[in-house]
């Protein structure tokens, strides 16, 4: 329960018990209400969170671009490797032909 100043409590003691009970409930209720400072702090936190989400989205976008670039580089590397393997196979074929011709 909310702390009640002594002079207010003494004034409450002079009231009808039903009225006193209602006032005490109101004091308790007001003590549980979000205060303006609490709201402003929450607002700042939400703004920071929104900024973080925006930055994260930008980083995600860059990462996706880089992943696509890496995938393309990987594809080109595999293509070039296949070309090199084919050139190696042809070189070996030609070498075998030369060895056969030399015999």
Give the span between the Cα atoms of 22 and 26, in whole angstroms.
6
Instruction: Kindly report, residue by residue over 48-96, the tens digit of the pLDDT.
Output: 999 999 999 999 999 999 999 999 999 999 999 999 999 999 999 999 9
Report the predicted TM-score, pTM, of the whole model to 2 decimal places: 0.50
For residue 90, give Cα distances in angstroms to 17, 20, 76, 86, 87: 105, 102, 21, 6, 5
pLDDT of residue 8: 87
64 neighbors 72 (Cβ within 8 angstroms):
no
Chain segment 24-46, per-residue pLDDT in tens:
888 888 877 878 888 899 999 99
How many whole angstroms separate alpha carbon 56 and alpha carbon 49?
A: 10
Place of tokens 């030399």: 102
Label residue 2 by pLDDT band (50, 70, 90).
Answer: low
């Amino acid at each position: 329960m909310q702390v009640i100043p002594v002079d207010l409590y003494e004034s409450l003691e002079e009231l009808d018990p039903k009225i006193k009970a209602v006032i005490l409930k109101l004091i308790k209720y007001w003590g549980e209400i979000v205060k303006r400072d609490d709201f402003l702090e929450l607002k700042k936190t939400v703004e920071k969170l929104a900024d973080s989400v925006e930055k994260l989205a930008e980083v995600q976008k860059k990462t996706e671009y880089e992943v696509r670039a890496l995938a393309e580089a990987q594809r080109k590397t595999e293509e070039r490797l296949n070309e090199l393997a084919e050139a190696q196979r042809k070189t070996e074929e030609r070498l075998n032909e030369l060895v056969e011709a030399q015999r």
